[in-house]
Amino acid sequence: MIAEKRPELGARWLGRVGYEDALVLQQRLREGVSSHLLLLEHPHVYTMGVRTDPAHLLVDPATVNATVCWTDRGGDITYHGPGQLVGYPIIDVPVGPDSTPRYVHTLEASLIALLASYRIEAYTLDDFPGVWVGPRDAPRKIAAIGVKLSRGRSMHGFALNVHTDLSMFSNIVPCGIADKAVTSMEAEGIHASVAEVARSYAKHFASGFGFDQLDYQGVDDASQIAVSTSREKSEDAVASRLNQRLAKAGFSFDTAVPYVSRKPEWVRSEVNLGVEYRSLKHLVRDLNLVTVCEEAGCPNIYECWKDGTATFMINGERCTRACGFCLVDTSKPLPLDPSEPKRVAEAVAALNLSFAVVTAVARDDLEDGGSEAFAATIHEIRELNPSCSVEVLIPDFKGDQVSLERVLQARPDVLNHNLETVLRLHRAVRPSANYVRSLTVLARAKEFGLTTKSGLIVGMGESIPELKSVMRDIRSVGVDILTVGQYLRPTRDHLPVSRYYHPDEFAALREYAMSIGFRYVEASPLARSSYHARQGSDAAAGAMA
């Protein structure tokens, strides 16, 4: 079966992703209308379909460093792990009495075509979904399939063994089939990386399901990027882990902006140390508070403080992460101050704010990731300032759902979590974060009924097509507000600037973002996460009214 022609497929090679994060992302994407193909690896996990016999799990998963997840796909138990390409298509499927078998058949055909391109002859077996190789009287399963179709949209998908540890299958009855062997591309004599197979498969899937265009993006995927071959000639090409990650992701050191160079006039902020600025600075000091305006070297500090607005940074001023673009201190954090939420509320009252923004450093050293302080600060602000709206810019809490829900249940007026950059550069720029995890934070917040917001920084080596792709990914999980600003290098030890975007380019990016459904977009050279935050919240609320 080849479906009717479709306009575009967004295929993403995401690298290693936790099973539950991938499931949340699928569920959110299924609520939309665009077409997606998520390609990834999982950590060791045994997944149980709706027809799983628990007796088919033969060991305690903990003894083999694996977890177990029950899920709503079809089929019995299967294994996912490193070296295995897992694909989750989220596409429209024509509704009909034979929808599921026709869809599964097309999925199998796309995998058979992929394997043929690697000189592996594969086939299907009646009554046994999946893809098989070897003699038909002694078949070996190379790819499992377990799907779910609901309201004309697909979820779940397939698992192709590329160079998987096949011994992990001995701990289960794979797919409930006890008398048939399991194999991999490697076991069949083909040596390839999962990332390479993912890129190739995306083309076969797009062709098999009738897509006119393929938008493929991959983490660390520099295959279509001209990587610098003379890094030793660059002043920034020091032997650092940051630059090694950048090189892997295809950053061009040869064309980067020199550290000592004059910035274009449109990225220079005007210094205004007027009475309003000095008054707010004294208030922050008197209440022993921290602002991200100062800690992150925000170029808008003079404008915002002149207007009596500031973004308060809670949970201390030392971050446990070291993002390549950020100026915030990364030394060992100090203990939390339990009085800080109330002092933030007192500052909001003293400034007579109608809209307050609260952010925080990442506190991976804390069991709750600092989420209790976020909830307490929201509560204290509303207790002292009932008419004040609150926006929070939160970390990902390492993917801990309990910590995230603690903040969601406090119901901030806007929940902001920044994706920061495109998929290819994500691991280089945010080594302790995860592209999918960030999307799932936003997806969970949207499912909770909150107004959601995210931000991007440009000038870190991305392309315009990549920016449009990440905008589509952010919008696909329901995000309402987007900010886009120019990256400005804080010190020589931070990520180099690839280039400075012209104001006209920001205007074009804003126009594109609005055209794909964002309620409000702040895009300009000096735009930052909390810049014009109240205006964004008001516009989003008005658009949804």
Catalytic annotation, residues: 175
Q: Is 298 annotated as a binding residue?
A: yes
C-alpha span between 258 and 519 (Å, rounded): 37
517 is in an annotated binding site: no
Q: Is 144 annotated as a binding residue?
A: yes
Q: State yes or no: 455 annotated in a binding site.
A: no
Residue 80 is assigned to a ligand binding site: yes
Task: Work out the number of other CB atoms within 10 angstroms of the CB of residue 448.
Answer: 15
Q: Which residues of 504-523 are buried (b: 16+ CB within 10 A; e: fewer)?
A: ebbeebbebbeeeebbbbbb
Is 119 annotated in some ligand binding site?
A: no
Please state, in angstroms and as integers, the Cα–Cα distance from residue 199 to each residue in 106, 224, 436, following that order.
18, 11, 18
Q: What is the dihedral of CA 181, 184, 187, 190, to 10 degrees?
A: 150
The answer to whether 18 is annotated as binding is no
Is 347 annotated as belonging to a binding site? Answer: no
Residue 81 annotated in ligand binding:
no
For residue 461, say whether it is annotated as part of any ligand binding site.
no
Question: Taking the alpha carbons of 83, 84, 88, 89 in that order, is the dihedral positive or negative?
Answer: positive
Q: Is 69 annotated as a binding residue?
A: no
- The amino acid at residue 258 is P
Edge to edge, what strands does the sheet with 520-523 contain?
311-314, 355-360, 389-393, 414-416, 451-458, 481-486, 520-523
- 126 known member of a binding site: no
Is the Cβ–Cβ distance between 520 and 535 less than 8 Å? yes
Q: Is 251 annotated as a binding residue?
A: no
The residues, any chain, with a CB within 8 Å of residue 497's CB and separated by 6 or more, are 256, 257, 459, 460, 487, 488, 489
Q: Please indicate if the annotation marks 388 as binding a ligand.
A: no
- For residue 335 the two structure tokens come to 């203990």
The helix (run of H) or strand (run of E) holding residue 213 is: strand 211-218
Residue 79 marked ligand-binding: yes
- Cβ contacts of residue 464 below 8 Å, gap of 6+? 505, 509
Q: How far is CA 50 from CA 72, 73, 287, in A?
A: 6, 6, 56
Is 507 assigned a ligand-binding role in the annotation? no
* Contacts for 391 with CB less than 8 Å, ≥ 6 apart: 355, 356, 357, 358, 412, 413, 414, 415, 416, 453, 530, 533, 537
Structure tokens at 527: 């735009």
Q: Is 76 a known ligand-binding residue? A: yes
* 124 marked as binding residue: no
Q: Is 34 annotated as a binding residue?
A: no
Question: For residue 203, with 0-12 CB atoms within 10 Å meaning exposed, 13-18 middle and 19 or more buried, which class applies?
Answer: middle
**Does the annotation list 152 as a binding residue?**
no
List the binding residues for [4Fe-4S] cluster.
Answer: 293, 298, 304, 319, 323, 326, 530
Going by the annotation, the residues of the binding site for substrate are 73-80, 144-146, 157-159
Extract the annotated binding site.
73-80, 144-146, 157-159, 293, 298, 304, 319, 323, 326, 530
